[in-house]
Amino acid sequence: MKRSVQSEDTKMQSEKVMLSNELINEYQLEAHITQLRDIKSPLIFRYFKEREKGAFYFVIWLHGKAHWKKLGLFPNISTTTAKKAMAIAEKQLRLSALHGNVSSVPFSSLKFVGDVLYWYQERVQQDQELTLGTKNRIISAINAHLLPCIGQLTIKEINRSTLDEYLMWPLQKKLKNSSIRQIFQVLKQAFKRAEGTGVIINNPISYCKFTQFISGKVVIKPARLTAIDLPKIFADIEKAPPSMQTLVLMMLLFGSRIGETRLTKWCDLDKRANFWRIRAENTKTKQAHRLPLTSVAWQVLNRHRQSVEGPAKRSPYLFPKRTNIKYPIDAQYASQRVSMLGNKDWSAHDLRKFARTSWQELGVDYVIGEFLINHQLRSLDQAYIQTFSDAKCMEALTTWHHYLFEHGLGAFLSQRQSEDC
């Protein structure tokens, strides 16, 4: 349904329509119609003298007064884009009005790709849901690769061709496909978040996929540790101070992440229920996790408790800072010490991969293994875990810990006991 109306403030001939690009083109030949009003929103299109072009506006009433705001020019932007801009502009105007200032609303406050990346980096740094490791990886990708390669390009210049020329092809000359994919995912997430929050109107790379640029498969790193490496692992661990020995042993026993392990408090070890309870804020999935404590695990933990000396005895953490026992050791420090301990032959993540692979080889149920390693589970798997987890997880870890005890851990613990005596 459409009807002509006379605009009181401009005395322009208006037509109320379901505003679209097609109708804008259709009314070009009707010179007496100077503007089109959208039936369902305060969006208005006004024709220029050359009828092929025009401008989008929206009108909002604030404090008893109509405020006209220009959103963009047609055909530079489409009706769909104008409606997105209108929603954003309305929010900005209402927010300004709360402070008594109805100012001009720009079509988009960000012009360059670097603007989007800096904006996203700030959001990442303030996001309490992200772990420190995740934040560091994102910020590193932005500062080391994305900003130097494409930060100087305008958002309008970004498309599949410019991405390939300035980012993907240069990266292929110096990085592995797996690393390039991580960098590309950071860029995609930055633009997706920027569009979702309204700081840009259109996401120019929403249709771009990694496989359009990289034809080769992303090769997953093979595990650097197998069962035959256990003697070397225990020999390497033996060189470390007692606290670092325990940190490594816990990651080996449970396949836990280094962040989850270093943040453990003594009160997280539930002796009554026999669980290691990992707090939600310490996990990558941001969900609380629990792991059964076997007799072997308690043996390791009790020996660690006995080895703690000095002010560290008063710390709530298993692995406190030397300089301030109120806090746990830093993530970077812990990772570096573990890597040094492995003489660059293995890292904290290699211990985790080794544990997961070994569980599979020992016949541990796949879903139980995924739960123990604290991967995100499907809804069906979560229901399965809620029914069977405790008994089956204890069974799986008992089997694994017994295997480790028989293949070097028992001798290692006996040696430590004799040294303590």
pLDDT band at 71 (very low <50, low <70, confident <90, very high): confident
Count how many domains the chain has.
3
- Are both 375 and 320 inside the same structural domain? yes
Residue 343 lies in a domain: yes
Q: Which DSSP string do the residues of 315-352 spell out, in sequence order?
A: -SBSSB-SS-TTSBPPHHHHHHHHHHHTTTS--HHHHH
Residue 138's domain is classified under what CATH number? Answer: 1.10.150.130
Q: What are phi and psi of 348, to 5 degrees?
A: -60, -40
Q: Which long-range contacts (CB under 8 A, 24 or more apart) does 8-13 make?
A: 9/66, 10/35, 12/46
Domain of residue 287, residue span: 227-420
Give start and end residues of each alpha helix (H) in 105-221.
113-126, 132-141, 147-150, 160-163, 169-172, 177-197
CB atoms within 10 A of CB 257: 22
As a whole number, mean pLDDT of residues 236-242 equals 90
- Any idea what the CATH number is for the domain that residue 249 is in? 1.10.443.10
Tell me whether residue 329 is in a domain.
yes
* pLDDT at site 10: 42
**pLDDT, position 317:** 96
Domain end point (choices 188, 212, 236): 212
Chain mean pLDDT for the chain: 84
Q: What is the mean pLDDT of residues 167-190?
A: 92
pLDDT above 50: residue 66? yes
Minimum mean pLDDT range among 50-59, 306-315, 403-412: 50-59
Are residues 171 and 74 part of one domain? Answer: no
* Same domain, yes or no: 86 and 56: yes
Band the pLDDT of 104: cuts 50, 70, 90: very low
Binned at pLDDT 50, 70 and 90, residue 105 comes out as very low
- For the cut 60, the answer to whether the pLDDT of residue 108 exceeds it is no
pLDDT reported for residue 2: 44
Name the domain boundary from 181, 212, 243.
212
* Residue 146: per-residue pLDDT: 94
Q: Residue 217: its pLDDT value, please?
A: 63
- Which domain-ending residue is among 98, 123, 152? 98
Q: Are residues 305 and 402 in the same domain?
A: yes
Q: Which of 15-24, 127-136, 241-250, 322-331 has the lowest mean pLDDT?
A: 127-136
| In a domain? residue 219 | no
The DSSP output letter for 207 is: T
Q: What number of H helices and E strands is found in the chain?
A: 17, 9
- Domain harbouring 48, CATH code: 3.30.160.390
Residues 255/352, Cβ–Cβ less than 8 Å: yes
Taking only the tens place, the pLDDT of each residue in 184-227 is 999 999 998 888 766 777 789 988 999 888 876 655 566 678 88
Say whether pLDDT at 315 is over 60.
Answer: yes
User: Stretch 84-89: mean pLDDT, rounded?
Assistant: 76
Q: Cβ(55)–Cβ(45) under 8 Å?
A: yes
- Say what the pLDDT of residue 29 is: 86
Residues 333 and 185 in one domain: no
The predicted-structure confidence for 248-278, as pLDDT tens digits, reads as follows 999 999 999 999 999 999 999 999 999 999 9
Does residue 142 share a domain with residue 88?
no
Report yes or no on 382 lying in a domain.
yes
**Position with higher pLDDT, 244 vs 90:** 244
Predicted pLDDT of residue 85: 78
Phi, psi of 13 (to 5 degrees): -80, 120
> Are 287 and 409 contained in the same domain?
yes
38 part of a folded domain? yes
Whether 251 and 349 map to the same domain: the answer is: yes
Q: What type of residue is 9?
A: D
Share of the chain above pLDDT 90, in %: 38
Which pLDDT score is estimated for 386? 57
Q: pLDDT higher for 185 or 109?
A: 185
Confidence of residue 332 (pLDDT cuts 50, 70, 90): confident
Query: Is there a single domain that holds both residue 370 and residue 292?
Result: yes
pLDDT above 50 for 106: no
| 279-291 tens-digit pLDDT | 988 888 888 899 9
308-334 per-residue burial string, b: 16 or more CB within 10 A, e: under 16: beeebeebebbbbeeeebeebbebeeb
Pair 327, 404 in one domain? yes
pLDDT value at 124 more than 80? yes
3-state secondary structure of 5: strand
- pLDDT for 342-398, tens place per residue? 887 888 989 999 999 999 999 998 889 998 998 877 665 665 565 567 888 999 999
pLDDT of res. 109: 54
How far, in Å, CA of 19 to CA of 24, rounded?
7
